[in-house]
Structure 1
């Protein structure tokens, strides 16, 4: 990858924490998919992602970073949301945009 996936993951969390839906959506590739284990849904398509994030930002705002590490195709970031820790695995395409985001609550 010609970019820093760990820095991109931090940028994603910063946009999430700021509630900046436009910045979040700009980080996604056009054919990106979010697999949300927190809600048990898979979302694809720009309008579906927008609807997901509108609700997510309102109901599950993110607060502080808990852990961050590079992974084979991107980065894994753990953060606090609604009193619990959530793990998000971000996979990036060749242009540095999110291709797949998988999240789930840590137990």
Structure 2
């Protein structure tokens, strides 16, 4: 594992906690200013730009709230987190910038 100044697992848990709580502002604080979301949950889409990411989360919080943690696995500058939703188990890969903010979120359902 590389020498990093943040805890990727803690950030992933904070992200899931904020998602479960429906806390849009906390979710946005965890994302970098130039975060990119690749979502395969309802067709493949790529969301870029701060306002587009905010709009994505507003919609996501309303349509697909997160439930319990299913699994959590770190690897270098990424963490894979699986969680339960009404639609089934989802997988999210969180990649971080040097400050420990989410730079790339890649999510999709587990089949």
TM-score, normalization by structure 1: 0.97
Unaligned runs of 5+ in 1: none
How far the C-alpha of 1:71 sits from its partner, in A, is: 1.9
RMSD of the alignment, in Å?
Answer: 0.8
Q: Which residues of structure 2 form unaligned runs of 5+?
A: none
Match of 1:18 among 1, 6, 21: 21
The answer to whether the aligner puts 1:99 opposite 2:103 as a matched pair is: yes
- 1:28 is the counterpart of 2:28: no
2:70 alignment counterpart: 66
**Separation of aligned partners in 2, 1:99 and 1:106:** 22
Q: Distance in 1 between matches of 2:54 and 2:103?
A: 15
Aligned to 2:54: 50
User: In the TM superposition, what is the alpha-carbon distance from 1:106 to its structure 2 partner?
Assistant: 0.1
**What is the deviation of 1:72?**
2.8
Instruction: Write out the 4+ residue segments of structure 1 that deviate beyond 6 Å after TM superposition.
Output: none
Cα distance in structure 1, aligned partners of 2:31 and 2:87: 26
Q: State the match for 2:10 in structure 1.
A: 7
